Amino acid sequence: MEKALALNRHEWRKVRPAAFKGFSLLYLGDEFCGQLLPELADFKRAAGIFPGRTILLTPLLTDPEIDAIERIIRDCSSPKNRIEIVVNDLGLLDLIRERYAGRVRVTLGRIFGHWIKVMPPVFARKFIKTNGVARIDIDDPSLPGRFSHFPGLKLSFRSPFRYLSATRFCPWERHWPGPCAASCQGRMTQIRHSRLPQTLLLKGSAYGIRNAVIPAHPMIDRVVMEKLPPRGKQ
């Protein structure tokens, strides 16, 4: 079982090498906010410092963010040294298929995974094959069985934060994408309401809950861990 550590750009710049112990993979980036993506220098530094393999983690993207990711692909990959990218954006997926299929290993992120699970199976199989998808990241223990009819597909399980919804509007700085003061870093909010069946967690620009159990399933051969900040209340 592979074990990966997930860090966004700000977490990566503060991390100490002792935190890498026990991890063979590094997920560098963020699945829900483009402001937390690594820069090219961050990715190159990871290749020199992290003892295992670095995987680029990406969210829904703007055009400038796709351009920045393309620079990382051009500078940090080759047919002999393929880079793995967790993709949640259809535009990035198209770019990889058209220009970099021989240089990128495609993993679909949690946002994409929820789209795949509701696609008609015939369409989903063709989509996965056409785009060279080898793996999907999930965080819902009930999902592995939904992907069992895709031969050869591997699953990664994200823990301990299970994403339920995400927003492009920053709930911490109260604005749409723009200048970012990284106000979300090191913070997480609990949201309680009588109409909610359980307490929600707001982490970055994603709302979710804790997923306490990592399911045992033959398709799951990777666990991706992230550290949750202290919880406040709302």
168 contacts 125 by C-beta, under 8 angstroms? no
**Strand 161-166 to strand 206-210: parallel, antiparallel, or no bridges (unpaired)?**
antiparallel
Query: Does residue 170 carry a pLDDT above 60?
Result: yes
Top-confidence residue, 233 or 74: 74
* Structure token pair of residue 1: 């079982």
Q: How far does CA 130 lie from the centroid of its chain?
A: 21
| Mean pLDDT, rounded, for 188-214 | 90
Backbone phi, psi, residue 4, to 5°: -115, 145
28 contacts 46 by C-beta, under 8 angstroms? yes
What pTM value is reported for the model?
Answer: 0.94
State the pLDDT confidence band at 234, using cuts at 50, 70 and 90. very low
* Structure token pair of residue 58: 């990406």
State the pLDDT confidence band at 231, using cuts at 50, 70 and 90. low
What's the pLDDT score for residue 161? 94
- pLDDT tens digits, 9-39: 999 999 999 999 999 999 999 999 999 999 9
Element of type H or E holding 23: none
State the pLDDT confidence band at 232, using cuts at 50, 70 and 90. low
Give the separation between CA 210 and CA 197, rounded to whole angstroms: 13
Give the separation between CA 117 and CA 152, rounded to whole angstroms: 16
Domains, the chain, ordered by start: 2-160+211-227 (3.20.20.70)
- pLDDT tens digits, 144-167: 888 888 888 999 999 999 999 999
Query: Does residue 119 carry a pLDDT above 50?
Result: yes
What's the pLDDT score for residue 121? 87
Query: Does residue 8 carry a pLDDT above 90?
Result: yes
What's the pLDDT score for residue 233? 46
| Mean pLDDT, rounded, for 169-182 | 89
State the pLDDT confidence band at 211, using cuts at 50, 70 and 90. confident
Q: For the chain, what is the mean pLDDT?
A: 92
Strand-pairing partners, residue 165, are 207
Q: Which residues contact 152 (CB under 8 A, 6 or more apart)?
A: 134
Query: Does residue 213 carry a pLDDT above 60?
Result: yes
Query: Does residue 187 carry a pLDDT above 50?
Result: yes
- Exposure letters 105-144 (e unless 16+ CB within 10 A, then b): bbbbbbbbbbebeeeeeeebbebbeebebebbbbbbbebb
Peptide bond into 160 cis (omega under 30): yes
